[in-house]
């Protein structure tokens, strides 16, 4: 995993002093350079660090100790190669995997560190790599470039030292923000002046507060105050500004972006932690067996062994029976070492990672991006996720707004009808409106209702006034790079979508000055005098402009929340208001963001009087905002309604379906976003995370800790109180439930929790965090908005710390890095906000919808395979090893092995490794279609049912019983068996070959029974391993090898003589049947009498195999939110004052582009399945009408119950 190496001074920095153009002065403070490192190793440190990490696994450390013991000849009855060969094999495979992972991290680091930046060095601008930039350097940025470090803005190409930045990497927002240089430095645009600049900045030390900066510039014996408005932070992108110069204040890992990234934790899966515990248990069991056998040896030597001293004298160092028992203890520790598994888990994980990388269904063709497993150690934990933390912008949404529908004077536009006047569903194949009549149209804009274009062409006055309003009432900045090539830079994507719509329908916004707005109306240039901008804020929830048209008429145009605008309408618009309100409800029902439009004619006399009042109010010192609000309210009364707009906030494809499916898998989804509360809630409704039929949506927005505490407690009490009454009708019983930790499982009603950023800061305090977590876990949906990157990590850490559950965080920007690192599993969306999230993630892909496949298919399969692999591995090793324990009672506890050394060496790495690897790599309990169709199949992983301490006990018990039968059935047979000629057949090696052969056959049959999904590879490995065993057995006991290495292969012809006897094969068959049959019967009875959901689905899958799997098509339906005017609610304070001041008017700005991507779809089954809590949840096939689809879904579920 990536680890941020912090190059920080040992002393805590109390303040920072940075001098411009003075590297020698700044270097004495040992500030961090601009180099970042996410890799773990280099050529020299790889071997020691990697081995140290590998030997943190208890099993690996144990085998090193064992290897040392085997080098002591007095206690070792096995050669050292029986341990070192499998140990080295596992260490090498793991090291190669770790090295390949780190190689890709090195490549990613180089890509970032080698980006080019222009640095002022020795009187000229020189290109330098990012990693060579130092604190105090003056660097030049150009339009659309990433900011290389945290810099103080000195000057720019814009008037007054203004520049525009996009902060998507920091807070997920793509709307522009304005930064301004100090007036004393804003004219330093010449390189010679910048070289002479020797100002010194004294400021706060490095910290993670993105919205705060405090400092002072000392220059020319003067002091100038600095704040966040003067800073450009690393990760921002310079927009709509030709160039700017800045002075580096914080670099590299000390930048605010990197300070928010947090430290990477060494991530280990729950199975890894369990394995360490189990290995300790096994080691204790091994010591117990060693003690028992050592005591047996001591007793045997005391009672029987001395009788053999005449012809088998003791060695000098074996002076007593007790010492002999002591040596025997260590000998048995060595012999029985294979009970502690050297597992091939890393090989499985590597294979599972390749399957994720190779999955074509997680490949995004538009961006040529495939899924990538950036780590190979967490695959099985993908099948155990309970909490999913998601960013919003760029993760759930495309952050693209599309003008979808509108209502003008009581008529709706945007739907498409066929020749029978039936509404037609709009798809990618639906023909778009032809805008060729408009040479200045945006080629990316799509609209499907031709009647609106025809109304514009007929010059219907209401329609033209509608689009004229959209073209005038906004704060968008235009940029015309060449004739007809217009680009708009909008404060928010909503505004960009509305102005772009007006542009395509013939009302093109071309230019603005502080006093005028120029439009091109149906090919005619028209300039309006801009008299006033009544700007948007969160209280007004509307925006108005007052303009004078070329005919001298003064008009007020207003757009805003329908509830706000409707209250200010003239009574003559009452009937139209009711009709428009119905249309707004329809639009909101489809999840669209709605907005009401109105206008008012103003007389010259009235306006002049109002203007004087405005001038007076804008110059007063006290209560200025309140007086302005009163004047705005006055002039906005008595407006006439024009209509309403409906904008689609485009979700990424498949987001609602994915969220619905993950909800059915019992995965709790929390949205953590830096966006505004209203925007986040609207997306919640669009994704069906929030619904109108929820019992309650709690909004926590308290400003003080006491307010937050009261809101949290009252919400929790409301949920518990209602649930007590609804579910039990007994208050006392409800109190009893409330005390129980599983009470949240009994909550039937559905609640949602929305927490604001400043409230979350209080809620995360130690005295409130438990209340927050308890309330959040009682809610179906949790949305935290206006959160900082560090708060995202704190929320994830809160759940990790207090809930024994696997967490997954998914995001696409640098503001998500911290939570990605904090969660058990981090997923990066390779989107439009840079690659920081991907670089810090464990898995990455291009679309949120692929998360469904990653978890429900790859994750579930990986967990299923890993659990069955481990259970079989423990069973196999106990069956193999404990034969020595039983044999100890018949060989005088002499530490004699049953098998020869070559069999012990090759059993785990040749004879039985490939079949279990094939099962661990390719096995499937159900296929991928059913894994997605029945999300409830995911739940056993969350509950850790497939491999836990109980399962470990059962599989080891099976192995112990198998070893008992493997030894005593052949032993009983050999005591009475004779050859066909009547002679005895009781030599130890014939006995060993019989047991070894039976063991290999038994474990091969067992893995055949445990395998649910046979492939050609499984057949090859199972049958090939059996063939390999017999081939090696006969080869090692052949004349040829005995002739070359007589001391290493002394048992000449044993296998040939033993396995040529029919009675031996009868013993092998009998032992195999007795070992396998009980487990087979238990498994059959369990499936027949107590079938799990997996058993039922597998039965359905097998019964329908002849018909073949059917792909389920998801139908698009209307979204179910009734929220309206989310556009107006989602705005922040506008740019009105900046525009009318003229400070930003030298050049225009770049527009928000409108994506051509297909609209996000919803499906007819979402509303139903979210309300149902069946054990089996099915996705119904596509049907012409919803009732039949619902009926079919219910029937499918009935078949499984």
User: Coil, strand or helix: which one is 547?
Assistant: strand
Q: Nearest-CA neighbor of 377 among 497, 265, 289, 287?
A: 265
Q: Nearest-CA neighbor of 447 among 588, 174, 646, 683?
A: 646
C-alpha distances in Å from residue 1171, one per residue of 74, 733, 743, 1168, 1188: 71, 26, 20, 5, 18
Report the C-alpha gap between 131 and 150 in whole angstroms. 14
Q: Which two tokens stand for residue 304?
A: 């029987």
Please answer whether residues 1081 and 924 qualify as being in contact, where contact means their C-beta atoms are separated by less than 8 angstroms.
no
Q: Which two tokens stand for residue 145?
A: 């470039």
For 892, list phi and psi in degrees, rounded to 5. Answer: 70, 25
User: Coil, strand or helix: which one is 439?
Assistant: coil
For Cα atoms 1179, 1182, 1185, give the angle at the middle one, nearest 5 degrees.
110
Report the C-alpha gap between 1055 and 271 in whole angstroms. 41
Instruction: Please state, as a whole number, how many other Cβ atoms lie within 10 Å of the Cβ of residue 222.
Output: 9
Report the C-alpha gap between 784 and 677 in whole angstroms. 8
Q: Nearest-CA neighbor of 347 among 383, 374, 376?
A: 376
DSSP letter (8 states) at residue 498: H
Q: Nearest-CA neighbor of 783 among 490, 1108, 1193, 396?
A: 396
For 14, list phi and psi in degrees, rounded to 5. Answer: -95, -35
Q: Which two tokens stand for residue 192?
A: 């010679």
Q: Which two tokens stand for residue 265?
A: 């934790």
> Is residue 272 annotated as part of the catalytic site, yes or no?
no
Q: Nearest-CA neighbor of 567 among 1125, 1120, 1137?
A: 1125
Please answer whether residues 165 and 179 qualify as being in contact, where contact means their C-beta atoms are separated by less than 8 angstroms.
yes
Q: Which two tokens stand for residue 216?
A: 């002072």
DSSP letter (8 states) at residue 984: B
Terminus-to-terminus CA distance in the chain, angstroms?
44
The count of C-alpha atoms lying within 13 angstroms of the C-alpha of 260, restricted to the half-sphere facing its C-beta, is 27
C-alpha distances in Å from residue 901, one per residue of 379, 614, 669, 905, 1048: 36, 99, 54, 6, 9
DSSP letter (8 states) at residue 252: G
Helices (H) and strands (E) in the chain, counts: 43, 35
Q: In this structure, is the dihedral angle defined by the CA atoms of residues 112, 114, 115 and 120, taken in order, positive or negative?
A: positive
For residues 674, 678, 682 and 688, what is the CA-based torsion angle, rounded to 10 degrees?
Answer: 80
Residue listed under structure tokens 């945007």: 414
Residue listed under structure tokens 């209250």: 567
Please answer whether residues 140 and 118 qualify as being in contact, where contact means their C-beta atoms are separated by less than 8 angstroms.
yes
Instruction: Identify the active-site residue in 98, 137, 391, 649.
Output: 391
Q: In this structure, is the dihedral angle defined by the CA atoms of residues 461, 462, 466 and 469, taken in order, positive or negative?
A: positive
Please answer whether residues 16 and 56 qualify as being in contact, where contact means their C-beta atoms are separated by less than 8 angstroms.
no
Please answer whether residues 756 and 728 qualify as being in contact, where contact means their C-beta atoms are separated by less than 8 angstroms.
no
Report the C-alpha gap between 415 and 419 in whole angstroms. 13
C-alpha distances in Å from residue 386, one per residue of 542, 673, 938, 1178: 41, 20, 10, 20
Catalytic residue ranges: 391
């Amino acid at each position: 995993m990536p680890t941020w190496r912090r190059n920080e001074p040992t002393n805590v920095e109390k303040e920072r002093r940075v001098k411009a153009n003075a590297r020698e002065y700044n270097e004495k403070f040992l500030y961090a350079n601009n180099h970042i490192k996410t890799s773990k190793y280099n050529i020299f440190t790889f071997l020691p660090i990697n081995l140290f990490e590998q030997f943190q696994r208890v099993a690996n450390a144990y085998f090193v100790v064992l290897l040392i013991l085997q080098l002591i000849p007095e206690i070792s009855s096995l050669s050292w190669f029986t341990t070192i060969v499998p140990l080295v094999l596992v260490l090498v495979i793991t090291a190669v995997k770790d090295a390949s992972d780190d190689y890709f991290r090195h490549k990613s680091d180089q890509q970032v560190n080698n980006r080019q930046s222009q640095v002022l060095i020795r009187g000229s601008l020189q290109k330098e790599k990012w990693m060579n930039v130092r604190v105090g350097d003056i660097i030049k940025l150009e339009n659309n470039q990433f900011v290389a470090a945290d810099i103080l803005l000195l000057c720019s190409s814009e008037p007054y030292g203004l520049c525009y930045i996009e902060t998507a990497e920091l807070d997920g927002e793509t709307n522009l923000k304005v930064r301004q240089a100090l007036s004393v430095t804003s004219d330093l645009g010449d390189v010679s002046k910048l070289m002479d600049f020797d100002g010194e900045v004294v400021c706060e030390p490095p910290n993670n507060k993105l919205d705060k900066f405090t400092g002072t510039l000392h220059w020319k014996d003067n002091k100038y105050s600095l704040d966040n408005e003067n800073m450009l932070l690393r990760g921002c992108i310079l927009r709509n500004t030709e160039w700017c110069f800045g002075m580096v204040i914080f670099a590299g890992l000390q930048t605010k972006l990197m300070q928010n990234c947090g430290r990477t934790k060494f991530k280990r899966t729950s199975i890894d932690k369990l394995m360490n515990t189990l290995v300790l248990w096994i080691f204790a069991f091994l010591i117990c067996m060693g003690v028992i056998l050592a005591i047996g040896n001591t007793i045997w030597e005391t009672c029987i062994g001395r009788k053999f001293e005449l012809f088998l004298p003791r060695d000098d160092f074996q002076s007593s029976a007790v010492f002999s028992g002591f040596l025997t203890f260590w000998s048995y520790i060595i012999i029985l070492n294979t009970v502690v598994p050297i597992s091939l888990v890393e090989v499985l994980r590597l294979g599972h990672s390749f399957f994720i990388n190779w999955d074509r269904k997680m490949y995004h063709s538009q961006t040529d991006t495939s899924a990538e497993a950036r780590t190979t150690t967490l695959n099985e934990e993908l099948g155990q996720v309970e909490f999913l933390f998601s960013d919003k912008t760029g993760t759930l949404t495309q952050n693209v707004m599309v003008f979808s529908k509108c209502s003008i004077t009581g008529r709706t536009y945007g739907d498409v009808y066929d020749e029978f006047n039936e509404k037609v569903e709009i798809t990618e194949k639906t023909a778009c409106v032809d805008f060729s009549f408009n040479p200045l149209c945006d080629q990316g804009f799509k609209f499907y209702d031709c009647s609106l274009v025809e109304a514009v062409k007929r010059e219907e006055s209401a329609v033209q006034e509608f689009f004229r309003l959209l073209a005038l009432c906004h704060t968008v900045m235009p940029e015309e790079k060449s004739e007809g090539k217009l680009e708009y830079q909008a404060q928010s994507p909503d505004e960009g979508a509305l102005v772009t719509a007006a542009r395509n329908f013939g009302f093109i916004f071309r230019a603005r000055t502080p006093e005028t707005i120029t439009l091109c109306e149906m090919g005619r240039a028209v300039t309006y005098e801009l008299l006033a901008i009544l700007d948007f804020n969160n209280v007004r929830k509307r925006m108005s402009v007052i303009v004078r048209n070329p005919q001298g008429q003064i008009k007020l145009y207003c757009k805003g929340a329908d509830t706000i605008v409707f209250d200010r309408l003239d009574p003559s618009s009452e009937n139209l208001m009711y009709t428009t309100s119905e249309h707004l409800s329809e639009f909101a029902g489809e999840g669209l963001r709605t907005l009401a439009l109105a206008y008012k004619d103003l007389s010259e006399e009235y306006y002049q009087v109002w203007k004087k009042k405005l001038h007076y109010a804008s110059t007063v010192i006290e209560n200025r905002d309140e007086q302005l609000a009163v004047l705005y309210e006055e002039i906005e009364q008595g407006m006439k309604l024009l209509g309403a707009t409906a904008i689609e906030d485009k979700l990424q494809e498949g987001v609602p379906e994915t969220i619905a499916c993950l909800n059915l898998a019992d995965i709790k989804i929390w949205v953590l976003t830096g966006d505004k509360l209203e925007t986040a809630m609207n997306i919640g409704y669009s994704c069906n995370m929030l619904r109108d039929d929820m019992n309650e949506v709690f909004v926590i927005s308290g400003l003080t800790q006491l307010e937050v505490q009261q809101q949290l407690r009252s919400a929790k009490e409301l949920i518990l109180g209602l649930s007590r009454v609804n579910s039990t009708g007994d208050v006392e019983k409800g109190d009893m439930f409330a005390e129980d930790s599983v009470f949240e499982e009994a909550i039937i009603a559905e609640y949602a929790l929305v927490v604001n950023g400043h409230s979350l800061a209080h809620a995360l305090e130690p005295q409130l965090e438990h209340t927050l977590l308890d309330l959040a876990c009682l809610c179906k949906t949790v949305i935290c908005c206006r959160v900082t990157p560090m708060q995202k990590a704190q929320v994830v850490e809160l759940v990790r710390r207090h809930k024994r559950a696997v967490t997954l965080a998914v995001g696409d920007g640098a503001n998500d890095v911290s939570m990605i690192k904090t969660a058990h599993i981090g997923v990066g969306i390779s989107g439009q906000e840079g690659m920081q999230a991907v670089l810090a993630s464990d898995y990455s892909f291009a679309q949120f919808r692929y998360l469904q496949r990653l978890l429900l298919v790859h994750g579930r399969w990986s967990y299923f395979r890993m659990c069955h692999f481990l259970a079989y591995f423990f069973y196999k090793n106990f069956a193999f090893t404990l034969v020595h324990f039983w044999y100890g009672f018949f060989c005088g506890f002499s530490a004699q092995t049953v098998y020869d050394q070559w069999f012990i060496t090759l059993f785990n790495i040749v004879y039985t490794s490939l079949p279990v690897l094939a099962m661990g790599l390719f096995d499937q309990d159900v296929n991928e279609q059913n894994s997605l169709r029945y999300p409830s199949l995911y739940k056993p992983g969350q509950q850790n049912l497939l491999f836990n301490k109980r399962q470990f006990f059962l599989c080891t018990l099976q192995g112990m019983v198998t070893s008992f039968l493997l030894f005593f059935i052949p032993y009983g047979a050999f005591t009475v068996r004779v050859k066909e000629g009547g002679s005895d057949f009781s030599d130890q090696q014939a006995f060993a070959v019989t047991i070894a052969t039976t063991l290999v056959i038994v474990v091969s049959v067992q893995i055949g029974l445990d395998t649910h999904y046979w492939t050609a590879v499984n057949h090859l490995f199972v049958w090939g391993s059996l063939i390999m065993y017999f081939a090696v057995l006969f080869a090692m006991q052949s004349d040829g090898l005995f002739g070359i290495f007589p001391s290493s292969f002394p048992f000449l012809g044993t296998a040939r003589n033993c396995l040529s006897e029919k009675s031996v094969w009868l013993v092998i068959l009998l032992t195999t049947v007795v070992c396998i049959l009980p487990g087979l019967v238990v498994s059959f009875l369990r499936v027949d009498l107590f079938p799990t959901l997996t058993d039922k689905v597998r039965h359905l899958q097998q019964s329908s195999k002849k018909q073949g799997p059917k792909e389920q098509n998801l139908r698009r339906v209307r979204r179910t939110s009734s929220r309206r005017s989310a556009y107006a609610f989602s705005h922040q304070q506008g740019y009105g004052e900046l525009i009318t001041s003229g400070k930003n008017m030298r050049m225009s700005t770049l527009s928000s582009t409108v994506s051509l991507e297909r609209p996000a779809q919803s499906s007819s089954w979402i509303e139903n399945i979210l309300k149902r809590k069946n054990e089996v949840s099915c996705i119904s096939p596509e049907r012409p009408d919803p009732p039949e689809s619902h009926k079919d879904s219910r029937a499918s579920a009935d078949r499984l119950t």
